[in-house]
Structures are given as structure tokens and as C-alpha cells.
């Protein structure tokens, strides 16, 4: 079955300004189209993500959409919808998103969702932070058209559980003023202490760096090593063990007066030796 996204709006009876319901539906459709384009670009797909309208129901307003035939592989389309649901679930317990740090956290979570939902041979995803801020801003504008007591759901036929949108959530930042700092990509050999390991799936691990004296989250890109570790062929890494690894990451320096430099988009590109029961753990104390 071809993946399909349904956007359902349950509105109040005798609602004032009923035209806002149709405006909201258009805004949600356009925002989700741009979101799909963001996800496509994040995994290196160079094509336009466009919807076609399959069905409209009146009562509550329900629009059924699917990407244009041959534009996006069906498996990828389903993965995008599932990852989108996980993003919107992250927004259910918060009232607003307003700064770069919050957008960064959402981007990292979205990348992890894509990794879990996509086949292993697909390129490791990288979500453009500024474009994500723009997409979030569009969803926020759609939410503003909804009134208290009204409900919006995103429903995918690839996922039985509907995603209930937190229509109270707002994006209060200015996307045009976000992520204007300098980003410098570096690759280097490092010694890493594992704070949080992932024993299943390809989500991010948490490391402390001996050379940077900082903690950061990163996925392990070397799939053969990760499969062997998670399969039990490599003994578990303990609190005194150190991994010798090649690391790739972005150093982001925000504009003056807008915060401290940050490590972003970190990846462990390859894993070398594991130094067991190291006596030099003190060297990995960071400056957080």
C-alpha cells in the first residue's frame, strides 16, 4: 500500500471565523510539504517533495495526501511520516520553542528518528537547522488558527497510532536570525570515554573527549563495528574503558553576544582500539 498522510481537523460547532479552518488546513499541508522536503534533503535526495490530494471529507475536515508518484520511494515516504510523528510527539509537552539550543535538540532527535526508520544503506541524515526553524515556524502559524477545544491529527497508514498535534505550542523565535554563526567542520583522532552506550539501534551515544575536554552526543557511523558490538562480539565498554576513534564534528561559533561555541553534528567515523580499565580517566573531566 502506498504511504498516505491524513491531516484531520476537528473544529467547534458554530465556530466564529470558519474560514480559519480552511486557512489552517492549507498552512498544515504547506508546512508538511516543506518538512518532507527538509527530510528528503537531509538524506541526500535531490528531488522536490510535493503532495497530491487524494481525498477530502467534510464534517471534521480530513485531507488525505501522498507524495507525487515516482518522486519519493514509498519506503522513504513512510519513514519520513514516522519520523515526523516522533518530532511532533516531542512537542506535546512544551508550550514554545524559542532559541537555537531548542531547535538543535529537536534536530538531533529528528536525525535519530530518521536513522531508526530508514534502511542502513541510506546516507547518515543531517537536518539543516535553519530550515528546520523555518518549518517549525510554519507549523506554529497553522496552530494559531486553531481555537481551544479543537483538535488536529496527523495520521499515516504506515503507523496505526495517530499523532495528536499540540495546537497550543508556538515557535516564538525568528528563523531569519538563527544559526548565523560560523560553522567549521573538523576530523581528528581522539580518545573517548563512553558515558551512554546504545545497545540496540543506531541512536546517538554520549561521549567525553580527551582532547576537547567536553561531552557530546554522536552516532557511530562504522556500521560493522556497531553491529559486532551490539551483537555481543565485542565485550561491553565499561566506565574505565577508552575508545580510540576518528571523530568528525562541527564547531559552531554563534555571533558575538549570542552564547558560547558548541559542538554539533558529531559522528564517530571509525573505531580503533579499546583501552580497557584505563587509569587516566581523570584526563577526561570536561569543562561543562
The answer to whether residues 97 and 173 touch, using CB atoms and an 8 Å cutoff, is yes
Q: What is the pLDDT of residues 249-268, one digit of tens each?
A: 999 998 888 778 889 889 99
Residues 219 and 98 in one domain: no
C-alpha cell at 259: 552564547
Q: What is the pLDDT of residue 31?
A: 94
3-state SS class at 235 = coil
What lies within 8 Å, CB to CB, of 46 at 6+ separation is none
Residues 113 and 53 in one domain: yes
At CB < 8 A and 24+ separation, what contacts does 235-238 make? 236/197, 237/194, 237/197, 237/274, 238/276, 238/277
Among 21-25, 32-36, 52-56, 155-159, which is the least confidently predicted range? 52-56
Can you give the residue range of the structural domain that contains 171?
Answer: 5-176
User: What's the domain count of the chain?
Assistant: 2
pLDDT score of 130 more than 70: yes
The answer to whether residues 154 and 165 touch, using CB atoms and an 8 Å cutoff, is yes
Can you point out the beta strands (E) in 110-168? 151-156, 159-164
Q: What is the pLDDT of residue 282?
A: 45
Residues 214 and 161 in one domain: no
Residues 168 and 233 in one domain: no
The domain boundary, picked from 176, 198, 231, lies at: 176
pLDDT score of 190 more than 60: yes
Determine the number of helices (DSSP H) and then strands (DSSP E) in the chain: 5, 12
The domain boundary, picked from 121, 145, 176, lies at: 176
* CATH code, domain carrying 258: 2.40.50
Residues 57 and 146 in one domain: yes
Amino acid at each position: 500500500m502506498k504511504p498516505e498522510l491524513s491531516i484531520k481537523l476537528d473544529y467547534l460547532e458554530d465556530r466564529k471565523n470558519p474560514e480559519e479552518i480552511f486557512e489552517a488546513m492549507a498552512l498544515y499541508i504547506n508546512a508538511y510539504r516543506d518538512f518532507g522536503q527538509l527530510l528528503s534533503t537531509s538524506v541526500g535526495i535531490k528531488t522536490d517533495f510535493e503532495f497530491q490530494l487524494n481525498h477530502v471529507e467534510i464534517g471534521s475536515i480530513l485531507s488525505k495526501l501522498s507524495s507525487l508518484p515516482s518522486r519519493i520511494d514509498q519506503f522513504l515516504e513512510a519513514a519520513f511520516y514516522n519520523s515526523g510523528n516522533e518530532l511532533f510527539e516531542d512537542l506535546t509537552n512544551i508550550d514554545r520553542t524559542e532559541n537555537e539550543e531548542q531547535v538543535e535538540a529537536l534536530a538531533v532527535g529528528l536525525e535519530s528518528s530518521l536513522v531508526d526508520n530508514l534502511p542502513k544503506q541510506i546516507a547518515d541524515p543531517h537536518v539543516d537547522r535553519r530550515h528546520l526553524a523555518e518549518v517549525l515556524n510554519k507549523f506554529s502559524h497553522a496552530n494559531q488558527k486553531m481555537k481551544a477545544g479543537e483538535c488536529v491529527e496527523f495520521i499515516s497508514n504506515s503507523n496505526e497510532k495517530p499523532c495528536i498535534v499540540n495546537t497550543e505550542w508556538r515557535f516564538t523565535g525568528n528563523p531569519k536570525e538563527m544559526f548565523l554563526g560560523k560553522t567549521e567542520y573538523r576530523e581528528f583522532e581522539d580518545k573517548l570515554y563512553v558515558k551512554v552506550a546504545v545497545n540496540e539501534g543506531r541512536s546517538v551515544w554520549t561521549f567525553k573527549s580527551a582532547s576537547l575536554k567536553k561531552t557530546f552526543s554522536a552516532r557511530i557511523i562504522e556500521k560493522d563495528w556497531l553491529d559486532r558490538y551490539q551483537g555481543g562480539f565485542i565485550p561491553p565498554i565499561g566506565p574505565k574503558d577508552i575508545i580510540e576513534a576518528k571523530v568528525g564534528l562541527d564547531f559552531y561559533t554563534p555571533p558575538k553576544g549570542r552564547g558560547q561555541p558548541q559542538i554539533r553534528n558529531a559522528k564517530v567515523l571509525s573505531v580503533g582500539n579499546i583501552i580497557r580499565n584505563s587509569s587516566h580517566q581523570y584526563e577526561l573531566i570536561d569543562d561543562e
